[in-house]
Amino acid sequence: MQRKIAVIDDEERFLDLFKKILTSRIGNIEVATYRKAKDALNDLLRKDFDLIITDLMMPEMDGLELLRKAKEAKPNATIIVLTGYPSIETSVTAMKEGAYDYVEKPINNDALVIKVNKALERAQLLRERENLSQIVQGRRFEIIGTSKAIQTVKQLVEKVAPQPVSVLIEGESGTGKELVARRIHLLSPRRSSSFVAVNCAAIPEGLFESELFGHRRGSFTGAVSERKGLFEEADSGTLFLDEVDSVPKESQGKLLRAIEMGEIRAIGSDKPRFVDTRIIAATKKNLLSLAQSGQFREDLYYRLNVVKIKIPPLRERREDIPQLAYYFLKIYSQKLGKNVTKISDSFMRSLISRRWEGNIRELENLIAMEVALSDSDTLRGSYSETTLPNETEFSGNITYKQAREEFDKSYIRSVLARTGWNISKAAKLAGMKRQSLQYIMKKYGIRRDENI
């Protein structure tokens, strides 16, 4: 994986020298140089640099201030400071402020290379440790739900993640398409490289290719500096093409080529470059029918759709609602420093019966708002209108038996969740015998999710 290094020094000749030494003696790196700390800071906060090397004495913002600000935003950042000679004191201050190491000027090339290699190793270790601990805690990008539909999604995610194939994710707004994409990346061998997400519908007209494949300086009006495309940013990682149905027709051929051959060509450049970028695409539409009606290139459709993951809307898996509600309740109570632990029965009933046009995002936002405004340990839905199941919800294509089953599943889940999955307590709360509760649980396959 290519490692990114930022070097900040107000003297141009030093920057040139650094770039030359580092790129010639250390493999697989990319060096960005800055003469002004202010410009650097903007990028440092936005991008993920593996290593930052900064001079200490600079006009305007000095290196120490840059160090503090970078550390504040990214406590794990690995930073080497450059100190002019008699400044043991400033290097000590810099180390206290969290610098990883310092290099004295005039630079001794060998010492520099050794220190940079060591720092890059540390950065890599930190990144892996962070990813691992998030996986172990199971917190990051956790897909919650025990409905059959979401179980199928989870199984597919685990199966497809380690393989180098494209994945197409289909689902309504807020169903968890990006979550699934990130989870796949995290479970793949690419996890320590970048996950780059781009919303194809949000790219201004005419800029799609420059955004994805990059451009050379001056290749068109407005191309004031060279820009790397997202395919390259995600090299050896994953590129998430959200709303892929919006890729302009005239660019679809180039996209196909990039995916098929890993070959990209920056605008204004005649040299092709090769990248190893995994593509995960998402859409709210039915891409196959767009392909069949000629609005989307069919060959591109098949290239993206090696594996398809369809995420069903929340209203088709209502039995997941209690668990999701409690999951978000826990997250937002923690985040907002509140001690809310329960959801009232009537609020839960109302949650289960809503239309959820905005799917899980809407549920998450609603719980977040209720938690933020609540001043007791129980959410009662006081701040969101609590309509009871309206007729249209259940009318039409659902039988009484199905509706009743839905209710049973949701109700039992909510009772169990409230009692921390203690079956005796739950049975008592529900006013039923322990055996009856166990019978219902078995009948519907209701089990506690391991990660909650």
Ligand X SMILES: Nc1ncnc2c1ncn2[C@@H]1O[C@H](COP(=O)(O)OP(=O)(O)OP(=O)(O)O)[C@@H](O)[C@H]1O
Per CB under 6 A, residues contacting ligand X are 142-145, 150, 171, 173-179, 284, 360-361, 364
From the list ligand X, Mg ion, none, pick the one residue 364 interacts with, judged by a Cβ distance below 5 to 8 Å according to partner type. ligand X
Residue with Cβ nearer Mg ion (178 or 370):
178
Residue with Cβ nearer ligand X (176 or 322):
176
- Look up residue 428 and give its amino acid: K
Instruction: Write out the H or E segment, with its range, that includes residue 336.
Output: none
From the list ligand X, Mg ion, none, pick the one residue 145 interacts with, judged by a Cβ distance below 5 to 8 Å according to partner type. ligand X
243 binds Mg ion per the rule CB under 5 A: no
| Residue 369 Cβ vs Mg ion, minimum distance, rounded to whole Å | 20
Measure the CA–CA gap between 328 and 366, rounded to whole angstroms: 10
| Residue 243 Cβ vs Mg ion, minimum distance, rounded to whole Å | 8
| DSSP annotation of 315 | G
From the list Mg ion, ligand X, none, pick the one residue 171 interacts with, judged by a Cβ distance below 5 to 8 Å according to partner type. ligand X
For Mg ion, which stretch binds (CB under 5 A), given 148-156, 176-184, 254-262, 437-445? Answer: 176-184
Q: If you write DSSP's letter for every residue of 13-78 in order, what string do you get?
A: HHHHHHHHHHHHHSSSEEEEEES-HHHHHHHHHHS--SEEEEES--SSS-HHHHHHHHHHH-TT--
Count of beta carbons in the 10 Å neighbourhood of residue 110 = 10
From the list Mg ion, ligand X, none, pick the one residue 313 interacts with, judged by a Cβ distance below 5 to 8 Å according to partner type. none
Residue with Cβ nearer ligand X (68 or 139):
139
Describe the strand order of the beta sheet including 51-55 as a list of residue ranges. 29-34, 3-8, 51-55, 79-83, 101-104
Among 178, 211, 232, 243, binds Mg ion (CB under 5 A): 178
Measure the CA–CA gap between 352 and 349, rounded to whole angstroms: 5
Residue with Cβ nearer ligand X (91 or 238):
238
User: Which residues, 6+ apart, have CB-to-CB distance to 421 below 8 Å?
Assistant: 448
Report how far apart, in Å, the C-alpha atoms of 164 and of each of 208, 254, 281 are. 25, 20, 14
Residue with Cβ nearer ligand X (54 or 147):
147
For Mg ion, which stretch binds (CB under 5 A), given 14-22, 157-165, 170-178, 442-450? Answer: 170-178
Which value, to the nearest 10 degrees, does the dihedral of the CA atoms of residues 313, 135, 234, 80 take?
140
Residue with Cβ nearer ligand X (231 or 332):
332
Residue of this chain nearest to ligand X (CB atom) = 176
| Residue 45 Cβ vs ligand X, minimum distance, rounded to whole Å | 23
Binding residues vs Mg ion (CB under 5 A): 178
